[in-house]
Chain A
Amino acid sequence: MQNEVLLQMRHIEKRFPGVLALNGVDFTLRKGEIHALMGENGAGKSTLIKVLTGVYQMDGGQITVEGESISIHSPQDAQNNGISTVYQEITLCPNLTVAENMFIGREDGAWIKHKTYEKRADEILNELGIPARSTQQLGDCSLAVQQMVAIARAVDMKCKVLILDEPTSSLDDKEVNMLFKLMRDLKAQGVGIIFVTHFLEQVYEVSDRITVLRNGELVGEYLTEDLPQVELVAKMIGKDLDELNNLGETEEKEVKQQEVFYEASGLSSSDAMPFDFSIRKGEVNGFTGLLGSGRSESVRAIFGADKVTGGNVRIKGKPVKITRPIDAMKNGIGYLAEDRKRDGIIAELSVRENIILALQVMNGLFKPISRSEQEAFADEYIKVLNIKTASRETPVGSLSGGNQQKVILARWLLTHPDYLILDEPTRGIDVGTKLEIQKLVLKLAEDGVSVTFISSEVEEMLRTCSRLIVMRDRHIVGELKGADLNQTQVMKTIAGGETKDGEN
């Protein structure tokens, strides 16, 4: 392995109104290494990346590539210096074709050569084993494929430095492995890869080196093999692991035979196949399955988020009709959507407005919550959920991902739901906030709220749920509880094989 320094960032500073987002951070990337950039929410990972890619202008510091000092004022500058990025949230254009997305912004000459691009794109897609055609509209591809197209685009730009910001958060295991293979290939070619992720296992699987940030400051740079996972977590959250362990041990979540709160039979929507489901008061259950297995579609059907096409629903034994989100809300159901940016936040509105939104909708158009009440609610939840924001009037779009998620959580908690559906509430969120959210879920259940918790991290679901519903190919294929609630059994059920007897 070469040890030649490829990219060096020194004393990087970045200020936002009221926040010092990066405070003298150093970062070094060597040729042919995969370097994991780790840190909690708001630790400054995304900011550092955005400085490097020219999205933000740094307020101080120095960047050198292969020993030469460079200045980056725009994403174009970064590209010209061989720095390519795939962002956490997909930043491609869904209404263009795959080929157009791969070549947009880097046409040579004034004309767009569709045929050439499509041919070239197909070659790359084949090479990387991405299941997409160059002429397909990107928006028609699954989220995972879109992500991979973004990576293909970056790869094709002959980059020296490839930045992958949470590239795996929407990929399933198989796709992750494909990506890792690709990363290792690129590494062998001498590309330096900066890998930002919240999946610790993945860090240990592929990365050579780890740099940890906390609160906008550098904690340190370590060789992956020298840093045990437990220590990494400790460095990231900057506190003892007792808390982590404690949560892990809250086992034996026996659900007393409480009354059934929600019950559906043959419920189906435009996107979900008919299924039966019920949840008791104070129960935490989960839907699991691979990407595209129908877990999100099913919970969306419960909330009426997609067009409901059939089925009977009973709440506390009484038949109800839920065809629109507002029906679900009036029946005490809250739903935190999977895609925070698209379905969750109203980016330009303030934290306050985002928090009171759902409650206001339930109150209706003609019963506005007074300004002082709104402020009281906002302040209360900013405190309870420990939302890091400059003020309650800050536009929610300027908060970090985890804090945006907390704002949406606050929005639903404020409606005091009887049943809360959380679809990937911890996706793209740091360890600390993840724990906070898990604790909150358990506490809600204690208070008698039913919770459906979906996460792509099985570990997390095992820790919180007392019952897991396993889906495959848009059908429920199993239900696990008690002794069966372990990683092996979940994997087996997801993969197929013995489903019902569960004695293995």
Chain B
Amino acid sequence: MAKTKKKFLSGGLGQLTIPVIAIVLLVIFNLIRDPSFFSVGISHNNDGNIVLAGNLISIINGASELAILAMGMTLVTAACGGQDISVGAAAAIAGSVFVKVLKSSPQISGGKVLLAFICACIVAMIFGSFNGTLVAIFNIQPMIATLILYTCGRSIAYWINGGATPTVSSPVINAIGSFIPGIPVPTPVLIVIAMAIVFKLLFKFTSLELFTQSVGINGSAARLNGINSTFIKLLSFIILGVCVAVAGSIGVSRLGLINHETLLLDVEMDTILAVAIGGNNLGGGKFKIGGSIIGAYVIQTLTITLYAMKVSSTDVKAYKAIVIILLVVIGSPVVKQKFGKFMSKFLENRSGKAVKGAA
């Protein structure tokens, strides 16, 4: 027991330590501020279903798109050593395609929603491979490569929508965006869980994780070991494309309309931040998807907390920035190393010279 504890404290902080501590601190802070902050209530929604409600639920629910995008972004970051800043714009395109297909005929059935989603997926994957091609084949810095789609993505969405903000209303869309009748948990949360499981299975039944990390850490060695690094990089962008389509479709379903100007606006920066808070190296290499998911919830908890403290929406960004600076500095290698050294000395003193009571 003592040994594992020592390892945990001194042997370099685990990758997930910082995000977990951050979220725990945020929870404690909120509980002190308002003991009932996280209480989960049961209420009836407009459709008369029994559903869970409360701040906790709205945090977890609200972070869904961010969490899904963060999963894909982690993979791109690991393989390419850079980030895709076009995910918000690409989600607007995917959302527009989703709505376009739904509105192709007046009837909206479950099958049609599926078809619409698949179309959105294909389009997002095509845009993903566009980004991926620039990065993997033409060796353009990811941020520059994706700047193109970041700039023009919402215009493309505008054309797809014909300049309007078309609405869709259907029980199926409603079920995706809020609750499935009979299930009290918001559907986007279920989708996050499903996506997390998909990633888990992907890593279990393929060698994607090993190959991606190898490409990200040492591309030259990976190539000489027969790994097709171009393909791995391209693949990471295509997988992110799927995440974009899922996030875009959820965003559309929540509101029942597609507004290409506002759908998932500024989400790219939060996504990158979630990856960073999750302890992943933004320069590529080793990664933990779980870290990024926690990172997404940290960001959302922070936002909701600030809103609950009646901070105005313009000020929220400034407060967020302060907390984020703290998190990133604490998670930096310098601080981690210093802390690791301090802890090992501290433990040594306690175990070695316990008699003297040096500690």
Contacts and interface: CB of A to CB of B under 8 A. Distances in A.
Contacts of A367: 207
Given A346-B213, A348-B217, A349-B213, A335 B224 contact: yes
Contacts of B60: none
A325 B221 CA distance: 11
Nearest to B211: A365
Contacts of B225: 325, 357-358, 361, 411
A348 B285 contact: yes
Interface in B184-233: 204-208, 210-211, 213-214, 217-218, 220-228
B154 interface: no
Contacts of B224: 303, 305, 325, 335, 337, 343-344
A347 interface: yes
B11 A349 contact: no
B288 to A, nearest CB: 13
A491 interface: no
B221 A324 contact: no
B221 A342 contact: yes
A324 B226 contact: yes
Given A346-B214, A347-B217, A361 B227 contact: yes
A366 B206 contact: yes
Contacts of B223: 325
Contacts of A17: 11
A315 interface: no
A368 interface: yes
Contacts of B220: 342-343
Contacts of B213: 346, 348-349, 353
Interface string A430-474: 000000000000000000000000000000000000000000000
Given A305-B224, A325-B225, A361-B225, A353 B217 contact: no
A147 B136 CA distance: 32
B286 interface: yes
A360 B206 contact: no
B211 A346 contact: no
A350 B214 CA distance: 11
Contacts of A344: 221, 224
A347 B205 contact: no
Interface in A368-398: 368-369
Interface in A147-177: none
Contacts of B228: 324, 326
Interface in A312-354: 324-326, 329, 335, 337, 342-349, 353
Interface residues of B, number: 23
A329 B205 CA distance: 23
A338 to B, nearest CB: 11
Contact of A349 (B206, B226, B227, B286): B286
Contacts of A346: 213-214, 217-218, 221-222
A344 B221 CA distance: 5
Please classify the interface of chain B as helix (H, G, I), strand (E, B), loop, or mixed, using the class held by over half of its residues: helix
A188 interface: no
Interface in B220-267: 220-228
A93 interface: no
Contacts of B204: 368
Nearest to B218: A346
Contacts of B211: 360-361, 365
B217 A365 contact: no
A362 interface: yes
B221 A349 contact: no
A417 B78 CA distance: 30
Contacts of B285: 348
A365 B206 contact: yes
Nearest to A305: B224
Interface in B142-194: none
Given A305-B224, A325-B225, A329-B226, A368 B214 contact: no
Interface string B31-72: 000000000000000000000000000000000000000000
B115 to A, nearest CB: 28
A337 B207 CA distance: 23
Contact of A348 (B222, B226, B286): B286
A157 to B, nearest CB: 26
B49 to A, nearest CB: 41
A366 B204 CA distance: 10
A361 B226 contact: yes
A411 B205 CA distance: 22
B78 to A, nearest CB: 11
B129 to A, nearest CB: 17
B87 to A, nearest CB: 25
A365 B221 contact: no
A349 B214 contact: yes
Nearest to B232: A365
Contacts of A368: 204-207, 210
A361 B227 CA distance: 6
7 contacts: A344-B221, A346-B218, A353-B213, A358-B226, A360-B210, A362-B226, A365-B207
Given A305-B224, A324-B226, A325-B224, 20 more contacts: A342-B218, A342-B220, A344-B221, A345-B221, A346-B213, A346-B218, A347-B218, A348-B213, A348-B285, A349-B210, A349-B286, A361-B211, A361-B225, A361-B226, A363-B207, A365-B206, A366-B205, A366-B206, A367-B207, A368-B206
Interface of A: 17, 303, 305, 324-326, 329, 335, 337, 342-349, 353, 357-358, 360-369, 411
Interface of B: 11, 204-208, 210-211, 213-214, 217-218, 220-228, 285-286
Which 9 residue pairs are nearest across A and B when measured between Cβ atoms?
A326-B226, A361-B226, A325-B226, A368-B207, A329-B226, A346-B217, A346-B214, A346-B218, A358-B225
